[in-house]
């Protein structure tokens, strides 16, 4: 199981939003690359980066910061505003290892299918759910589409990785929605990266137990708990191993 420490970028700075709300922002660092360097020093090979400005604007806004992170030699998983093929190609050209398609995946299966044909496993789909329904455009809008239904359609297109976020737990430090994650894992046609709610070491222990039952649990994204010093990245990396 892979630990994906998270960096959310807004106005060039490393921040966290509570439940994705732009008015609930905490700034943790002025330079996101400095944070990524700390993650690398702790032993992490991956970093999960979200361009929050991009998610709200519909196109990437912080690629210079992303490029600085990729230059450290870490594998970067990037989401936020990647809604055109040109944006995807540009991000991959900057050294990003995997891009996350969110809003456009809910809108166009054709778009996702073409990307998978062109870039294979470098394409992941982010499914963000509120009460089981898919949320889009930086979580501003909720659709009528069920998260599991969308995931099945993405799997049929050849998508190998789904990042599943339960919005209700994101940034709340209340623990993941384990039942929702297990329901997604049970579909079994793709790998799942769990996101949202990790607040303590025991949450990751429980996810590691889940990974033993479901080999397709690829990893977990950890954000606020790291910044609030509730968990230690070296400890989580050792746990995951």
Point out the residues that are catalytic.
Answer: 8, 128
Nearest residue to 31 (alpha-carbon basis) of 56, 61, 7: 7
38 HSE (CA, 13 A, CB side) = 14
Angle formed by the axes of helices 109-119 and 147-156, nearest 10°: 40
Instruction: Report the C-alpha gap between 146 and 227 in whole angstroms.
Output: 31
- For 119, the token pair is 């870039």
211 HSE (CA, 13 A, CB side) = 20
Instruction: Report the C-alpha gap between 104 and 125 in whole angstroms.
Output: 9
Residue ranges of alpha helices (H) inside the chain are 32-41, 52-57, 63-70, 85-93, 103-107, 109-119, 147-156, 178-185, 201-213, 224-227, 233-240
Q: How far apart are the first and last CA of the chain?
A: 7
């Amino acid at each position: 199981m892979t630990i994906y420490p998270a960096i959310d970028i807004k106005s060039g700075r490393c921040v966290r939003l509570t439940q994705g709300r732009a008015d609930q922002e905490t700034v943790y660092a002025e330079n996101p690359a400095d944070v990524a360097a700390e993650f690398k020093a702790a032993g992490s090979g991956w970093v999960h980066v979200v361009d929050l400005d991009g998610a709200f604007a519909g196109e990437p806004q912080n690629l210079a910061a992303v490029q600085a992170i990729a230059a450290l030699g870490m594998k970067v998983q990037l989401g936020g505003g990647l809604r055109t093929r040109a944006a995807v190609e540009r991000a991959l050209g900057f050294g990003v290892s995997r891009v996350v398609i969110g809003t456009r995946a809910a809108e166009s299966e054709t778009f996702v299918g073409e990307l998978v044909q062109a870039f294979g496993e470098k394409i992941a789909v982010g499914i963000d759910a509120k009460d089981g329904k898919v949320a889009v455009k930086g979580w501003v809008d909720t659709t009528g589409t069920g998260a599991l239904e969308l995931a099945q359609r993405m799997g049929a297109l050849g998508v190998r990785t789904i990042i599943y976020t339960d919005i209700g737990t994101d940034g709340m430090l209340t623990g993941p929605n384990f039942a929702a994650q297990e329901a997604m894992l049970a579909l079994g046609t793709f790998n799942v990266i769990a996101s949202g709610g990790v607040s303590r070491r025991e949450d990751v222990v429980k996810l590691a137990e889940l990974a033993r039952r479901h080999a397709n649990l690829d990893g977990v994204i950890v954000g606020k708990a790291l910044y609030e010093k509730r968990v230690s990245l070296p400890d989580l990396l050792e746990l995951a191993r």
